[in-house]
Amino acid sequence: MDLFAYKIIPVVVLQNPEDARPVGEALVAGGLPIAEVTFRTEAAAECVSIMSEIEGLTVGVGTVVALPQIELAVEAGAQFFVSPGLRPELIREARLAGKPILPGAVTPSEIMEALSLGITTVKFFPANLYGGVAGIKALAAPFTSMRFVPTGGISPANITEYLSLSCVAALGGSWMIPPALVAAGDFEGITKLCRQAVELAAAAV
């Protein structure tokens, strides 16, 4: 499983389980068949379970900050984990579950800790508050083996700038699944935004 094949990982926040299938199908139709469903809502686990049944869609769980979330996510069918920070116990638990994990790291010390744990790709979050492209460039200089997935403040306006960096594996973003379109049931609109994102990413690499 290559989490970075499409250069974009959609961050999906869902409040209602009934939106899970149409949102997942919209991602697949838009050529972006991967979703990081955040564990920020009560409906998250059920949404992961529903989306995991969609053919061709790779579904993971984001905002993983505690061990019980990993067990719950695995039971729901999650195929990968994303954490906003770096906790060795979460990495160990994910490995025991046989699933890849993308932990967050934004400082030299965190990156050194990640490398010591065998992690070579980290989430850089929130990217817009930790220096953006300039911040990643600065960290990549001494840590040449580390790759980054910037998330936070990513939009069509800066996709090209981020993906021009060879150390950027992919981008995390939620602009393709705006809450307003989900609430309106405009899943075709989500498909169009996904297609545009895929085109921008393809042109940038």
Across the strands, what pairs with 11? 36
Catalytically annotated residue among 123, 137, 161, 188: 123
- Catalytic residue of the set 7, 36, 93, 99: 36
- How many angstroms separate the CA atoms of 25 and 73, rounded? 20
Tokens, residue 139: 């960290």
The answer to whether residue 99 is catalytic is no
Closest alpha carbon to 21 in 161, 190, 145, 159: 190
Which tokens sit at 124? 């850089």
Is 192 catalytic? The answer is no
In total, the chain counts a number of residues equal to 205
How far is 191 from 175, CA to CA, in rounded Å?
Answer: 12
Q: Which residues are catalytic, by number? A: 36, 123
